[in-house]
Structure 1
Amino acid sequence: MTSSKGIALVDLDDDGVDHAFRADVLEGLTQEQKAIPARWFYDETGSQLFEEITQLPEYYPTRAETEILRARCAEFVALIAPGSAVVEFGSGSSVKTPILLDCIAPGAYVPLDISGDFLRASAKQLSAKFPGLPVYPVEADFMRQVALPDEVSGLPKVGFFPGSTIGNMVARTSVDLLRSMRETLGEGAKLLIGMDLIKDPQILEAAYDDAAGVTAKFNRNLVTRINRELDGDIPEDLLAHEARWVDEFARIEMHLVAQEDMSFEVSGRRFAMKRGESIHTENSHKFERRTSTTLLLAGGWTPIRRWLDTEERFSLILAEATIPRSAP
């Protein structure tokens, strides 16, 4: 039995715009270093563009993670309770999610995503591939605790957070997200999470600035969305995509850099940028074993198994919810 019924938990204002989107954009544009959280990339167009990015020759994470998923199926079966509800934080990839679902034979699949249209399309595709699998899409901001459908309340839970999306956040926000995931999934849950690894900066920069310009289009689509949904007039053609490795923070940063002085309006408020100033649109932190372990433990998860691809570019980690301990 399948279900395509979605549960909408996004808070919209009278104009039909997500309150959090408007607030994040307006606050971000007032900062000295203008910045907008990367989660707002993923409207329907942005989600489709990201799927294109995952197929690019420069973008190794999807291939590396897919290799791990295919190679370690027997271990997943041994470590994940049979009949578990797979709760995916972000709409399922057309490549990675079916591999996991086919491997562990779950009792249900619950994709969570803030982009409702892309979520429902993804859920429909997964339902067609797995006609006997109950699918319960939930439209929600998974940065906060989410109430899961009643239909999966009695099933063991395994969270799935592939693609190293955790790296898009600074450490404090990552820990908050991991804690909210723990609250969403509950006691006894497990989490299968992807984390990209530190490597040659040239490889990293190429992965976020591909020769075909798809990542640049993905980056500028954020401005297109702001102009469309928030009555903006940001001159998109005067903003250049830039990806840079910042070794001090072990991360790739994506920016939209002003090519000349400009002024613009968003939601009735005026802003200005000088030539060379940028809007910081994404961080993509890279990890090694100790930093990934520290992050998971701080978020309430204990790593129990870690896998790498054959070229040791990417890690996939299975963790279990840490039992809270009272203070001594």
Structure 2
Amino acid sequence: MLIDLHPQAADVARLVSLGMAKQPKQLPAWLLYDAEGSRLFEAICEQPEYGLTRTETALLERHAPALAQALGPGVLVEFGAGSARKVGPLLRSLKPPAYVPLDISAEHLANACVELRQHFPQVPVLGICCDYSQLDQLPAHPLLEGQARLGFYPGSSLGNFTPTDAQALLCQLSKLLGPGGKLLIGIDQPKAVERLEAAYNDAAGVSAAFAKNLLVRLNRDLAGNFDPQLFSYRARWEAEHSRIAMALVSAREQSVQLAGQVWSFGAGEELITEHSFKYDPEAFRALAAAAGWSCSQSWSDPQGDLSLHLLVQADPAIAGRLC
């Protein structure tokens, strides 16, 4: 079953207008994930430069029994599930009463749900197409009634949010999971600049195609007239912010129409497609604590490239004041 709570076209147009009015121009990262964008992102994960997915998957496979024991019983709710390729080890060890993947791409999510039902026929699956960062509560459904909720947020997707917005999102996830909820989250950590920039600008050009597909989507969905050939792709490490900034850079002065408005670009002007903030374990634990979570256990690969953290909710009164 799939519940579709995708933002309406009018809401998308409003968010795009707000983003185009920023300096620099910046659009919500989830707009990258239409059906083609989701397919391209899966291809990025296969590139030799992008080790995050392989590292996190190996961690999950290696520690699945310990992770399941630490999480305890409950419905497994995955935020930003995509193709749900990483959840398998948890489903095998945890054997939850239900699995609830949330993702912005309805087509991608539907395909993932079909495949999961084939591989895990004993686990009921309820897909929810939504922008989970704006979701006030999970929809009422029998699979969610009377069950503890265990959050799963892999892929270091929290890094797409500014630290302030990431704190707000962690507060939001606490509310969605409810009292007693736990959250297993993957966090990509700082590393050599050369490795970071290569991971987001692979030699095969898949990352560039992923970014430029945003312009194709805007043309299709919001009556835009972007010429993707007039933009180049750039991924750059910004040490002062501990983040990778990914942008489409205008090749010359130009104007584009989008959602009934006209927007001007100067030569060399950036349209930020997404940021990816990196946190060392201490910085992430401080961020989580500011959102009312405490870290009960952590796991990391031998190189210290990525860490998994099991978060438990702090005292509800304290969390309420923080959020």
TM-score between both structures, scaled by the size of structure 1: 0.93
Aligned counterpart for 2:21 among listed residues 30, 47, 50 = 30
Q: Does 1:277 align with 2:269?
A: yes
Which letter does structure 2 place at the counterpart of 1:54?
C
Q: Is the 8 A contact 1:65 1:194 kept in 2?
A: yes
Q: Write the distance in 2 (CA, Å) between the matches of 1:235 and 1:11.
A: 26
Q: Write the distance in 1 (CA, Å) between the matches of 2:50 and 2:267.
A: 30
Residues 94-105 of structure 1 mapped to structure 2, 5 A cutoff: 94-105=84-95
**Deviation of the 1:299 alpha carbon:** 1.9
Q: Is the 8 A contact 2:249 2:269 kept in 1?
A: yes
The Cα RMSD (Å) is 1.3
Q: Does 1:67 align with 2:63?
A: no
* SS of alignment partner, residue 87 of structure 2: helix
- Give ranges in structure 1 of 5+ residues lacking alignment: none
* SS of alignment partner, residue 88 of structure 1: strand
Which letter does structure 2 place at the counterpart of 1:89?
F
Match of 1:204 in 2: 196
Q: Is the 8 A contact 1:92 1:123 kept in 2?
A: no
Match of 2:228 in 1: 236
Q: Write the distance in 1 (CA, Å) between the matches of 2:40 and 2:251.
A: 24
Residues 1-328 of structure 1 mapped to structure 2, 5 A cutoff: 5-12=1-8, 17=9, 19-82=10-73, 84-144=74-134, 145-148=136-139, 149-325=141-317
Q: Write the distance in 2 (CA, Å) between the matches of 1:183 and 1:265.
A: 39
Larger displacement relative to structure 2 (148-157 or 217-226):
148-157
**Deviation of the 1:10 alpha carbon:** 2.8
Larger displacement relative to structure 2 (72-81 or 130-139):
72-81
Cα offsets for 1:75-107 (capped at 9, x unmatched): 11321213x211001125453111221121111
Q: Write the distance in 1 (CA, Å) between the matches of 2:188 and 2:268.
A: 30
Aligned pair count reads: 317
Q: Write the distance in 1 (CA, Å) between the matches of 2:199 and 2:46.
A: 11
- Give ranges in structure 2 of 5+ residues lacking alignment: none
Q: Write the distance in 2 (CA, Å) between the matches of 1:93 and 1:323.
A: 34
Which letter does structure 2 place at the counterpart of 1:29?
M
Q: Write the distance in 1 (CA, Å) between the matches of 2:83 and 2:302.
A: 22
Larger displacement relative to structure 2 (19-28 or 301-310):
19-28
Q: Percent of pairs identical after alignment?
A: 37
Cα offsets for 1:44-65 (capped at 9, x unmatched): 1111111111111000111110
Which letter does structure 2 place at the counterpart of 1:46?
G
* SS of alignment partner, residue 11 of structure 2: helix
Which letter does structure 2 place at the counterpart of 1:137?
G
**Deviation of the 1:324 alpha carbon:** 1.7
Q: Is the 8 A contact 2:83 2:108 kept in 1?
A: no
**Deviation of the 1:258 alpha carbon:** 0.6
Q: Write the distance in 1 (CA, Å) between the matches of 2:11 and 2:87.
A: 28
